[in-house]
Homo-oligomer: A and B are copies of this chain.
Amino acid sequence: MTRMRQSQLFTKTRKEAPSDEVAKNAQLLIRAGFVHKEMAGVYDLLPLGLRTFEKVVSVIREEMNKIGGVEMHLSALQDPAVWQKTDRWSDEKVDSWFKTSLKNGGELGLGFTHEEPLTNLMREQISSYKDLPTYPYQFQTKFRNEARAKSGLMRTREFVMKDLYSFSKNSTEHMAFYEKAAEAYKKIFERVGLGDKTYMTFASGGSFSKYSHEFQTECEAGEDVIYIDDASKQAINKEVYDDAEVYKTTGINKATLREAKAIEVGNIFTLSTRFSEALGLKYKNQEGTEVPVFMGSYGIGPARLMATVAELLSDAKGLVWPKTIAPFAVHLVELSAGNEDVKKEADEVYAQLTAAGVEVLFDDRDARAGEKFADSDLIGIPLRVVVSQKTIASGAFECVERATGHTTHKTLSELITDLSHV
């Protein structure tokens, strides 16, 4: 749907967020009617929130498709047998499992990531060097049994993740894709409005490899500490800050770094043969020898991106969405105060804008101007177009840019020309 009447939108804005909600991103998203808090670390997406979420998803999907990603969808329920092979089933090894039981016996897990089932599945698909490389990805819910969940939508117990996995013949082929993926990630953060503050960050490789890369967005509310090299727009995660080898590898000068708090908005990992060896995912190379597939993984959480944008790009009045991920392009506000001419004119503007393909939220509610403007500021749609007796008399509608407050007056045809080129 490219349009919506606010009288049909069942959500209401709120003056106050729930008292137990300490994170600014969640406070704003709740007050503006984008999300609802189900419990600590668990949020529902309300209609406006779902629209922005889906726009973030579309941006990520486009960039993944461009680098050869093929979309699929794995299950949430997990068979222990597969995870035992990689030694990631026991709660001592992985402390974030949610586990459950089948009625007729047997434990199941709720996927906190999907390396195991996908590697296992690919054993049926990959047998020869001709089958490689390949890049399946999905948008699927991850469940993580977080001990604390206080950062709003930044760290939740249930969240959709885009996870892409690369299957390559060897580390050379892998690294070529790894670099393409890093570029695709940079494009994603630019497109959603976080490019300026996001740094490709050298980090620990966890149990998989010596190092990995995170994408960290500088933000006071972040849970991570990074050291930024402004000259090269790179950063180093605190966890490897004291590792001399990092500076040798990256060429970064430790003396020039500045410390900052940051949100991890994405990460890319070289998995090497950690999973393919454990699960027996091999291929026959051109010499006819069976060798393990060389893997990588690449994650982004769309709701965390949405929350990061809410945290960073908002102002005292509320949310400020970039055009690329705003729930609608235009917030059409009629100030009829019961005047039928104004109502008719607003209906006409709504009809014509949407006919031209512009996405419009139409505030057709019977409410005071002050309330409508405050709601409009809180919701944060990029352009507000006002229809009132005054604007009808002048033949041009008041257009206010949410981000800057910049006001212009435009006729309907000028508006349509401007907006259909966005």
Contact = CB atoms under 8 A, between A and B. Distances in A.
Contacts of A134: 8, 10
Contacts of A100: 98-100, 110
A77 B39 contact: yes
Contacts of A121: 36, 44
A136 interface: yes
A25 to B, nearest CB: 17
Contact of A79 (B39, B79, B146): B39
Nearest to A12: B125
Contacts of A110: 100, 110
Contacts of A73: 44-45, 50, 53
B44 A103 contact: no
A407 interface: no
Contacts of A71: 1, 47, 50
A418 interface: no
A170 interface: no
A46 interface: yes
Contacts of A46: 72
Given A4-B70, A10-B134, A44-B117, A79 B124 contact: no
B70 A47 contact: yes
A396 interface: no
Contacts of A9: 70
A47 B68 CA distance: 13
A349 interface: no
A69 to B, nearest CB: 9
A38 interface: yes
A157 interface: yes
Contacts of A1: 65, 71
A122 B33 CA distance: 12
Contacts of A190: none
Contact of A158 (B11, B43, B77, B125): B77
Contacts of A53: 73
Contacts of A76: 76, 141, 143, 158
What is the oligomeric copy number?
2
Interface of A is mostly: mixed
Interface string A187-202: 0000000000000000
A324 to B, nearest CB: 20
Interface string A100-138: 111110001010000001000110111000010010100
A117 B100 CA distance: 21
Given A50-B73, A73-B50, A11 B125 contact: yes
B75 A44 contact: yes
Nearest to A95: B103
A182 interface: no
Contacts of A141: 76, 141
A131 B10 contact: yes
Nearest to A366: B130
A8 B68 contact: yes
A11 B134 CA distance: 10
A49 B79 CA distance: 21
Interface string A165-204: 0010000000000000000000000000000000000000
Interface of A: 1, 4, 8-12, 14, 36, 38-39, 42-47, 49-50, 53, 65, 68, 70-79, 95-96, 98-104, 108, 110, 117, 121-122, 124-126, 131, 134, 136, 141, 143, 145-147, 157-158, 167
27 contacts: A8-B68, A10-B125, A10-B131, A10-B134, A10-B136, A10-B167, A36-B121, A38-B78, A38-B79, A38-B117, A42-B75, A44-B72, A44-B74, A44-B117, A44-B121, A45-B73, A46-B72, A47-B71, A47-B136, A76-B141, A76-B143, A76-B158, A95-B103, A99-B100, A100-B110, A103-B146, A141-B141
Given A36-B121, A38-B117, A44-B121, 6 more contacts: A10-B126, A10-B131, A44-B74, A45-B72, A49-B72, A98-B108
3 cross-chain pairs, A with B, having the tightest CB-CB distances, nearest first: A45-B73, A10-B134, A98-B100
